[in-house]
Structure 1
Amino acid sequence: MNEAKRPYVVCHMVPSVDGRIVTTNWKLPPSALAEYERTAQTFDADAWMIGRISMEPYAGKARVPSRKVPHPIPRTDFIARRDAESYAIALDPSGKLTWKSSSIDEEHVITVLTEAVSDDYLAFLRSKGVSYLFGGKTDLNLKKVLEKLRKEFGIKKLLLEGGGKINGSFLDADLIDELSVLVAPIADGAMGTPALFDAREGKGPARHLKLVSFEKRRSDLVWLRYKLKR
């Protein structure tokens, strides 16, 4: 694939030394979280992407009303605006996020759906001014999604900050260009919790990396940057 057809994807995360990513019980100091944001800003990305569960606190809660005059809504992409300086992208295949607004801190919201979502939900998104893209009939084709983001919104660089399954799906599809990890000085030790990449059961994709840089940051974080070998 011609890489210019899709955004350059940087997976940017804060794992523990044993690769876990659920930070709830880590009690990271505010300086560590600030360091994550500072390093993220150095990439000058046009957009960031996370999954539905991670996006719920940002989306808020609104009611999805039933339409009074129901009629089929075509399964075509809805672009509310193309001129935003930055975009917040949610992978929400089943259409469960109940957005209160079409923006997060002035970043325009794009939600990625499958064609299985209801007409009522599509009408709700339109009423809120939330842009949406279809990534497939029942499952998301991530390559297709990235190509649409580049074509429709001009997104050239994307920060992938998803959970283990989302990151794993991108890794499996060979759609990650760069890996940026701020390794937290914590040994988590929890069995069965999400890891940095959870692609599938059994044999994983096992992508090879090339170290670009390493640097000690505040709060004993170690910033490692890798390029994916192809």
Structure 2
Amino acid sequence: GGYADGYAPDKLPEGEPLPREDWVSEEGRATGNFIVSVDPMGRLAFSTAILEKKGRAPAYVIEALTGKASDGYLRYLRERGISYVFAGEDRLDCGLLARKLLVRFGIRRLMVAGGGVADWSFLREGLLDELSLVLTPIADGSTTAVSIFENADFLPPHPPVALRLLEVKQLEGDVLWLRYQPK
């Protein structure tokens, strides 16, 4: 499963308007291991600020938001001790997000695993230095299958990005591991 607990409740905490400024939990920052949730509208639910999955080190949640996130959602995150950063007004600016993650949390390296739109957003902004792709010999045929890179309607057009093959490894079960670098 995913890392979020579904969607935030319809009834969010009320109060005075909050400034559209980053909010950082010092306790969370001190953990040193993070999962950045790309959630431009501020809709995901979390029961806790620290995610624990079997076989993985505990990770502190950081929400990447746009100015479209509601005040109620910001209060919801603060109540749980979840830090958030604003990276754009209407749509996520991946470059701004990367800079803020470095400055606020010391994050120098990211693994982008957010689906086709997130992957394409980071690639098109020149923020991916490597694509690690594992091919399994299974055919689906579905017209709704997930794609690695996907341009969303809200993103401006962008030309294709050429990739250069770095390495191919054949793994157990006829699986291939391909590593590429943007040209």
Interval containing the TM-score (normalised by the shorter chain): 0.7 to 0.9
Deviations 1:48-97, CA, capped at 9 Å, x for gaps = xxxxxx8xx42225645433xx2111111011132223111111111111
Counterpart Cα distance in 2 of 1:183 and 1:101: 34
Gaps of 5+ in 2: 53-57
Counterpart Cα distance in 2 of 1:200 and 1:210: 24
1:95 to 25, 39, 42: 42
> Is the Cα–Cα contact under 8 Å of residues 171 and 205 in structure 1 kept in the other structure?
no
Q: Could you tell me which amino acid in structure 2 is paired with residue 93 of structure 1? A: P
Tell me the secondary structure at the aligned position of residue 138 of structure 2: coil
Gaps of 5+ in 1: 1-53
Counterpart Cα distance in 2 of 1:227 and 1:218: 24
1:85 aligns with 32
Counterpart Cα distance in 1 of 2:70 and 2:114: 25
Counterpart Cα distance in 1 of 2:46 and 2:168: 38
TM-aligned CA deviation for residue 195 of structure 1? 1.3
Counterpart Cα distance in 1 of 2:101 and 2:181: 22
Moved over 4 A (4+): 61-64
Q: How does 1:1-230 map to 2 (within 5 A)?
A: 57-60=2-5, 63=9, 65-67=12-14, 70-80=15-25, 81-105=28-52, 106-199=58-151, 205-229=159-183
The alignment yields a C-alpha RMSD, in angstroms, of: 2.1
Counterpart Cα distance in 1 of 2:145 and 2:176: 22
Counterpart Cα distance in 1 of 2:168 and 2:158: 26
Counterpart Cα distance in 2 of 1:215 and 1:109: 33
Q: Residues 65 and 195 (structure 1 numbering): CA distance in 2 closer, same or farther, change over 3 Å?
A: closer
TM-score of the superposed pair, with normalisation by structure 2: 0.85
Deviations 1:203-228, CA, capped at 9 Å, x for gaps = 75321222221111123211111111
Deviations 1:88-127, CA, capped at 9 Å, x for gaps = 1111111111110001122000011111211111111001
Q: Residues 100 and 181 (structure 1 numbering): CA distance in 2 closer, same or farther, change over 3 Å?
A: same
Tell me the secondary structure at the aligned position of residue 169 of structure 1: helix
> Is the Cα–Cα contact under 8 Å of residues 38 and 114 in structure 2 kept in the other structure?
no
Counterpart Cα distance in 2 of 1:60 and 1:190: 27
Counterpart Cα distance in 1 of 2:172 and 2:33: 27
TM-score of the superposed pair, with normalisation by structure 1: 0.69
Tell me the secondary structure at the aligned position of residue 187 of structure 1: coil
> Is the Cα–Cα contact under 8 Å of residues 180 and 226 in structure 1 kept in the other structure?
yes
Q: Could you tell me which amino acid in structure 1 is paired with residue 17 of structure 2? A: P
Counterpart Cα distance in 2 of 1:60 and 1:86: 20
Q: Residues 173 and 125 (structure 1 numbering): CA distance in 2 closer, same or farther, change over 3 Å?
A: same
Q: Could you tell me which amino acid in structure 2 is paired with residue 220 of structure 1? A: D
Q: Could you tell me which amino acid in structure 2 is paired with residue 114 of structure 1? A: T
